[in-house]
Structure 1
Amino acid sequence: MSVAAKFSQIGKPLPRREDRRFLLGKGRYLDDIVPPGVAQVCFLRAPHAHARIVGIDSTAACALPGVIGVFTGRDLAEWTTPLRLAPPIEGLHPVEMTTLPIDKVRFHGDPVAVVVARDRYVAEDAVDLIEVAYEPLPCVADTASALAPGAARVDESLPDNLVSHQSFSAGDLAARRAEAARVIETTFDLQRHTHVPLETRGCMADWDEGREHLTMQIGTQVPHPLRGQLAGRLGLSESQVTVISPDVGGAFGQKIALYREELAVAALSRHLGQPLHWREDRAENLMAASHARETRCVTRAAVRGDGRILGLELELVEDFGAYCFYPANYMARVIAMILTGPYRIADYSFDVKVVLTNKCGNGPMRAPMAITSWVMDGTLDAVARELGLDAVEVRRINALGPGDLPYTMATGEVLADITSRETLEGAVSAIDISAFRARQARARDEGRLVGLGLCTVVESTTYGSQFYKAAGIPGSGHEAAWVRIEPSGAVNASVGLMGTGQGYETPLAQAVAEGLGVSAETVTVHMGHTDIAPYGMGSRGARGATAGGGTLYLCARKAQEKVLAIAAGMLSLNDARGLRLRDGHVERRLDDDWQPTGLGLKDIAQRAYLDPTALPDKVAPGLDVSLTYDPPPMTYSNATHACEVEIDKFTGRIDIRRYLVAEDCGTVINPLVVEGQQHGAVAMGLSGALFEQVIYDETGQNLSATLADYLVATATELPKVEIIPMHTPNRSTPAGIKGMAEGGIMGAIGVIANAVNDALAPLGVTATRMPLSPQYIRALVREADENQERTGEA
């Protein structure tokens, strides 16, 4: 029996219900709900990457008609508390930041002052009238200069710019080196990215002085944690704060933290006693919202002559920027912990350094561990190149198979219910590698550069509470839900997630419908309102289906139990055995068949609410059920990506000829939504690998703060993506769900790099950094030509 065959609502390709309002232009984003006359907020941003603030003169700005006030870091420090991050992790320094800088700015775009005015135009004009005296300081614009002896300190409360340093070793690496045929070193440089959501950051804060209550309307992925941060830093109780998230035009991890601008707006609304609205422009978003990635990895693989990896060492250095909105080790540690992924490597060590620089602070971006699969599969490709072996065979000899599972990785992470060997073989078969190699040989004879890449991904998903505890990171991975059947039989449900474009409303309704026994069309899911939704940990890390959908499914099953208990009483049965709810109607098992009973959900709801004295003993009135669920510490989905490319050696252009993904993401709640997520993740990964890059010069000036400079792939640059479904359920999660929202990025980054290097192999050069821009590829081709000329001369 297939996974889908076990379910009636889960697995249906239902259209996304939110698309109707979006296509009609009836979505309600933040700027659609700002009443006329609400005062507007703008920020003055630092032109220097590193400088003392000597003085701020706002006289001219305050005198401008329509300006309500100009405020600085010293003002905000009176109304807010600093953010302090000090988890007890060895090698991680505690850090603290004020709401706005008081003594110095740390990156180009740091918010220095804030203007409140009657409209955006006046506020922008007033920002230009503020005069700030700066004393420029030496800038550290990269990790090498930041780690150099005597380097200027980004955070002067720390001894140096190495904010986090952790090491780990399992096995005997020295012995593995000694017995190896070769030790192969490979370098991987993933460039700095930013998220580029269609809708930039913004918020509307409204302080009600009479009720002493703050209502914060903001596009956020994590309504409840954000409420807690707001309340804590404003000195309020959580009952004094309501966070409401309307429709959100994309986030990709950028809308998790409580940023300084949003906290400033809330504090000023309370101080001024009036509602305030802020919306950043695109340049602010690219310059100062949040950045990600910029990770350099070096692997040293001790290998046998047949390509079997005996031991693997990883050195990782991450440029974290100027401020820490998250524990600095968080994202880098995940990379190191899961690096070996689908391969059998018992002897493994890592050394992870996270460095502060004078750049915008880093945060999670869809697939914070994006570099992982490129590093691991890129290392295997390097082994194959160096030893003259077939890249597929090198993967096979190192791959985990069904008999190896469950497999405890060297770091202690447990891989179970994955099918990485199967997806590898599925992709190899679908791409027909032997036929490709024949075409490749003919192309090379013609002087053309054609390549094939493979990349197998093991994607971490659930991030249960035990994972955070083991990693030494404060927080929880649980989720919460409620399901309420109204007296009319209508079904409402809620969960602590908040969608930011993923299409949650339909698959989450399907999860409820499956658990309860009704049609998904009859279920309404409420999210994004802290006074309505139960306290949950929000949307991040591919937990929407596993944690969110799983919790709703379990909660709905609990509701069904009560519904059937009431139905049994109404049918004069002793218990509910032999009863089920299907499409909102109670059926009874008789003579090996399900027979209608004539009872519908509305009949049972009427009894539950309006005739409680007729309920069975110990059954309370009403049909309102809640449930919390803490998923496994970590579960994994997996996939193998395959990609054919051709490189124009004269322009450096990369043409993607074919792209496919053999995917196992467990039980699929809604195939349409999953396919869309897969396509979107692959597109995002390819865009990042080929085009996107945040660029700073040596003085710390951001040179990429427009979409003319920060390039994003469009439909014309992206290939058709073939999806090969190979789904198997997880045995530890509700309904067998695994999750899959980030693996497409991991696979895309790795597979395009591996394909490009396969194409470049005849030239004897290797791409070790991204983006794989035409300029970079041309430089590699020129390097190969120069090498050939020197060899010929010799």
Structure 2
Amino acid sequence: MPGSILAPSSGPITKQRRQGFGAPVRRSEDYRLLLGAGTFTDDLQIPRTLHAAFVRSPYAHARITAIDVERALALPGVVAVFTGEDLAKLTEPGVTAQAGAEPMVMETLPTRKVRFNGDPVACVVAVDRYVAEDAIELVEVDYEPLAPVLSMESAAAPDAPLVDEDLSSNLHTRQTRTFGDVVSAFAEADEIVEVRFSTQRMTHVPIETRGVLAVWDAGRMELTFYSGQQTAHLLRTNLARRLRLDENQVRVISPDVGGAFGQKIPLFREELTVAALAIKLRRPIKWIEDRLENLTVANHARDDSAWIRAAVTKDGRILGIKAELWADYGAYAFFTPKYPIDSVGWLLPGPYKLQNYEYSINVVITNKCPAGTLRAPMALVTWATEGMVERIARQLKIDPVEVRRRNMITSRDQPYVSATGYSYEALTPWEGYEQMLRDFDLTGFRAEQRAARANDRYLGVGIASVLEPTTYGSAWYKKSGRGSGHEAATVKVEPSGAVNVSVGIVPTGQGYETTIAQVVAEALGTRVGNVNVLLGDTSIAPYGMGTRGSRGAAAGNAVAYLAATEARAKVLRIAAHLVGEPIDNLEIRDDQIYVLGEPEPRLPLSQASWTAYMDPSALPAGELPGLEIHRTYDPPAMTFSNATHLCVAEVERRTGRVEILDYRVIEDAGTLINPAIVDGQIRGGVSLGIGQALLEEVVYDELGNNQTATFLDYLIPTIDTVPNIQISHVQTPNPHTVLGLKGMAEGPVQGGLAAVMIAVQDALDGKGITIDRSPASPSRIRALFRAVEGDLDE
């Protein structure tokens, strides 16, 4: 088997079991965060700060006929009230363009009509949050209610009311892509297997909701925008454009971020409004979203469905696939509308040898909260692919292991080019699957399952092979238009030998301060504790593409390593000149410079760095003063990691409750910088997948009102839901990335959803129950049992 398996996981965490690369070093950022010493947006206090609150529509779809702000303005402490008409004079509208589809224009605040329940129609600015909240109740808005469009089917109907009246249809995107000879594949098939899977609408639920503190310096004509964000530089570019400022007039500072998961990538209308009003009023303005707002009006995700037809031979070989994919994108577009569901499309062949493939994507606009990306925007794909394989096995009465054996890509097949044109290399899907079968006694489990069923207990096992896209280099973006996937880093070795590093990625809980310090320490030959990592400030960090798409390691850490490697080369050039030795005879260890073969160091790293700044005449001929390296790196268009997930679950017939009894992951994320941090990402991702599989769901009523606006109704995983997760690693380095790195933060979500849903279906096999929609919540499971058995209490 390629790579090496470390089981279970990575061993105990030590402070510095090994100095740099590959060691489970403790996260340096955790000390301040666990002691409550972190600084989040709402912790920032600036004199004379005003506070904002938003008037929101009670209707899902209505025309705005009048807004009266006089009563609100009369309330003591209210400074100003602004409507969409006011903001149109201060800002540019947002435009989301997509090849092959009409552009979507979004006003900063709506002036003509509202499109979803909670749409912001006015902003109150007051001396404190209490006054602002009181004042929004005094703003009188006259609405003309319109019929809401609340489902994919109704949105796509020819006579449906237009959600966006600047578009010709609610069916915003309709595209079909065909690869290979699909017609012949279906003509030659012995059987056609059909499956349908749907995932529910969800939201991100970060511990820290959205928020912003905008400060305008009238003397310097500069805006400082404090906000927990994932893409600080892209946000700065967008802010400057929409505020009609030069980019050097805007500074974005992302302080500590209490979770993001994709929700803190776009520039939201509330954030833009606060920035515009801070400039207008020449006062700092803060807005912190409350939890009700976060659950109802911050962007949602995942409202997707797939209808898949597979052409198969009688022995289970897959000849071709056709997939019809749908997505409900809500009322506005903060991202390219087709991206999440198109990701499902081009990934759907998964780790299987398939060349005849066709998929269509359909994206509709509805009167719901706008959708966007949530960690693993393609989450449906693994469940769809692996659920299809399970259905093929059941329909053909073949062991699912054999269906996978006959179709799955092995290391011998690589490099393998998928039907959709992606190169798979350094992957171990079949090898990981085989290892899982060796570790887990599937035969013994089947005997236990039969015995449990005889006692009215329903046990099931789900095994899912995950293929996760990572890196997202610029060449990937070029396929669909413009975009960059590069990352940038600056490494400065100060005169004292201390190291400062800044990278364009922004930490939102991943442990970047630790892993970047590890890779820089490894490259420079210094201690991890000697490396200070500075992130999230656009006036310090070089322009980068930020945190998204599992690119933190393979792009962000990679470019830091490259910059540190160049800094090391300069240190060695200086040292070679100072000690009179060839460069190839020198090495740096523990902040000391050694001649190979000598037990004692010749000089400290700090002497070389001091010389670089303070004694330029002592430098080699042609060597410039200073020791500061700036480096950019554009990773490959797309690389992949893979994993195998196994879940054992029990479905309680009378309550509908699903209990996870065992959960295992074998992950191949290439070279590991810090195994402990990787394990944390796996556990967090699987937890999100479990939440999607069993609990979380945004529900609307027939008028478009959000019915899950508190944690009483919107359920998230808790300690009693998430089991102990057994993790093993395979390390198969990617030959095309720096240090063989791969991303891995989103695959665990895909695997978590798929393994749990397949386990639930397996538990109910033979009952005439089909699990084709998530979540498998108690109420849904009970309803399915009642449909086949009647009253469960009898």
Contact kept? 2:46, 2:284, Cα under 8 Å: no
Which of 643, 646, 658 pairs up with 1:654? Answer: 658
Tell me the distance in 2 between the aligned counterparts of 1:447 and 1:365: 38
Matched residue SS, 1:396: helix
1:70 maps onto 2:78 in alignment: no
Match status 1:377 vs 2:386:
yes
Residues 3, 728 of structure 1: 8 Å contact kept: no
- Superposed displacement of residue 36, structure 1: 4.8
CA distance in 2, matches of 1:355, 1:569: 66
1:538 aligns with 2:546: yes
Aligned pairs for 1:340-355 (under 5 A) are: 340-355=349-364
Q: Residue type of the partner of 1:20? A: Y
1:690 aligns with 2:699: no
- Is 2:622 the counterpart of 1:618? yes
Read off the aligned partner of 1:207 and give its amino acid letter. W
1:480 aligns with 2:484: no
Taking the aligned partners of 1:323 and 1:595, their CA distance within structure 2 comes to 66
Equivalent residue for 1:452, pick from 450, 461, 470:
461
Q: CA deviation at 1:572?
A: 1.2
Q: Which residue of 1 aligns with 2:35?
A: 24
Pairing partner for 1:566 from 569, 574, 583 = 574
Corresponding residue SS for 2:773:
coil
Determine whether 1:197 maps to 2:206. yes
Structure 1 residue 338: deviation in Å?
Answer: 1.3
What whole-Å deviation, never above 9, does each CA across 1:461-485 have from its counterpart, x for those lacking one? 100010011133x321000001000
SS at match of 2:230: coil
- Aligned-pair CA distance for 1:596: 3.5
Q: Is the 2:4–2:731 Cα contact (8 Å) retained in structure 1? A: no
- Does 1:400 pair with 2:400? no
192-201 or 23-32, which moves further after superposition? 23-32
Number of matched pairs:
780
Report the equivalent of 2:94: 83
Matches within 5 A, 1:120-199: 120-199=129-208
The structure 1 residue matched to 2:530, chosen from 522, 526, 543, is 522
Give the alignment partner of residue 594 of structure 2, picking from 573, 587, 594: 587
Decide whether the 8 Å contact of 1:3 with 1:729 is kept in 2: no
Alpha-carbon distance in structure 2 between the residues aligned to 1:37 and 1:76: 22
Q: Say which of 441, 452, 466 aligns to 1:432.
A: 441
Tell me if 1:35 matches 2:46.
yes
1:281 partner letter: D
Residue 246 of structure 1 aligns with an amino acid whose one-letter code is: P
Could you tell me how far apart the structure 2 residues matched to 1:773 and 1:135 are?
A: 37
Moved more, 109-118 or 732-741: 732-741
Cα deviation 1:38-95 (Å, max 9, x = unaligned):
10000000000000000000110000000000000000000100111224x12x2211
**CA-to-partner distance for each residue in 1:526-570, whole Å, 9 max, x for gaps?**
000000000000001111111111110111101100000001001
Give the whole-Å Cα distance in 1 for the aligned partners of 2:464 and 2:595: 50
Alpha-carbon distance, 1:442 to partner: 1.5
Give the letter for the 1:487 counterpart: P
2:14 aligns with none
Which whole-Å CA distance do the structure 2 matches of 1:485 and 1:520 have between them? 13
Q: Cα deviations across residues 488-539 of structure 1 (Å, max 9, x unaligned)? A: 0000000001111111110111011111111111101100000000000000
Query: Aligned-pair distance for 1:2?
Result: 6.9
The one-letter amino acid paired with 2:500 is N
1:112 matches 2:121: yes
Deviation at 1:29, TM superposition (A): 0.7
- Counterpart of 1:554 in structure 2 is 562
Question: Map of 1:747-758 to 2, 5 A cutoff?
Answer: 747-758=751-762
Structure 1 match to 2:634: 630
Tell me what 2:13 maps to. Answer: none
Question: CA 1:3–1:605 in structure 2 vs 1: closer, same or farther (change >3 Å)?
Answer: farther
**Residue 153 of structure 1, CA deviation:** 0.5
One-letter identity of the residue aligned with 2:447: A
Q: Cα offset for 1:784?
A: 2.5
Match of 1:249 among 247, 258, 273: 258
Give, in whole Å, the separation in 2 of the partners of 1:781 and 1:24.
48
Q: For 1:659-688, what per-residue CA distance to the aligned partner results, in whole angstroms no more than 9, with x for missing partners?
A: 000111111111111111110110111012
Measured after TM superposition, the shift of residue 629 of structure 1 is 0.1
Provide the TM-score with structure 1 as the length reference. Answer: 0.97
Deviation at 1:3, TM superposition (A): 11
Q: Is the 8 A contact 2:48 2:284 kept in 1?
A: no
Match of 1:784 in 2: 788
- Structure 2 distance, partners of 1:44, 1:352, is 35
Q: Is the 8 A contact 2:463 2:646 kept in 1?
A: yes
1:787 CA drift (Å): 13
Helix, strand or coil at the partner of 2:435: helix
- Conserved 8 A contact 2:5-2:729: no
The whole-number CA distance in structure 2 between the counterparts of 1:641 and 1:393 is: 18
Structure 2 distance, partners of 1:139, 1:368, is 26
Distance 1:98 1:654 in 2: 44
Between the aligned partners of 1:382 and 1:762, the Cα distance in structure 2 is 13
Structure 2 residue aligned with 1:791: none
Q: Deviation digits for residues 164-188 of structure 1, max 9, x if unmatched?
A: 1111011222211121111011000
Q: CA-to-partner distance for each residue in 1:609-633, whole Å, 9 max, x for gaps?
A: 1110110012111110010000000
User: How far apart in 1 are the matches of 2:179 and 2:747?
Assistant: 26
| Aligned counterpart in structure 1 of residue 741 of structure 2, from 737, 744, 755 | 737
Shift in Å, 1:786: 5.5
Query: Contact conserved, 1:586 with 1:596, CA < 8 A, in 2?
Result: no
Partners of 1:34 and 1:204 within 8 A in 2: no
Q: Which runs of 5+ in 1 are unaligned?
A: 789-794
1:96 aligns with 2:105: yes
Q: Is this contact kept in 1: 2:5–2:730, CA < 8 A?
A: no
Q: Please give the secondary structure, in 2, of the residue aligned with 1:299.
A: strand
Aligned equivalent of 2:648: 644
Q: Counterpart in 1 of 2:62? A: 51
Query: Is the 2:664–2:727 Cα contact (8 Å) retained in structure 1?
Result: yes
Counterpart pick for 1:507 among 511, 515, 521:
515
Identity, % of aligned positions: 50
Whether contact under 8 Å (2:50, 2:128) holds in the other structure is: yes
Q: 1:543 & 1:421 partners in 2: Cα distance?
A: 25
TM value normalised by structure 2: 0.97
Would you say the 8 A contact 1:84–1:96 is kept in 2? yes
- 1:715 is paired with a residue whose SS is coil
Which amino acid counterpart does residue 698 of structure 1 have in structure 2?
A: E
1:49/1:358 contact within 8 Å kept? yes
Output one character per residue of 1:122-145: Cα deviation in whole Å (capped at 9) or x when no partner. 000100000000000111011111
Q: 8 Å contact 2:91–2:276 — kept in the other structure?
A: yes
Instruction: Determine whether 1:412 maps to 2:416.
Output: no
Q: Is the 8 A contact 1:338 1:413 kept in 2?
A: no
Deviation at 1:783, TM superposition (A): 2.2
Contact map agreement 1:308 1:398 (CA 8 A) in 2: yes
| C-alpha RMSD over aligned residues | 1.5
- Secondary structure at the aligned position of 2:159 is classed as coil
The answer on whether the counterparts of 1:3 and 1:667 sit within 8 Å (CA) in structure 2 is no
SS for the counterpart of 2:195 is: strand
- Aligned equivalents of 2:791, 2:26: Cα separation in 1: 56
Partner Cα distance (2:198, 2:4) in 1: 42
Counterpart in the other structure of 1:607: 611
Shift of 1:595: 4.1
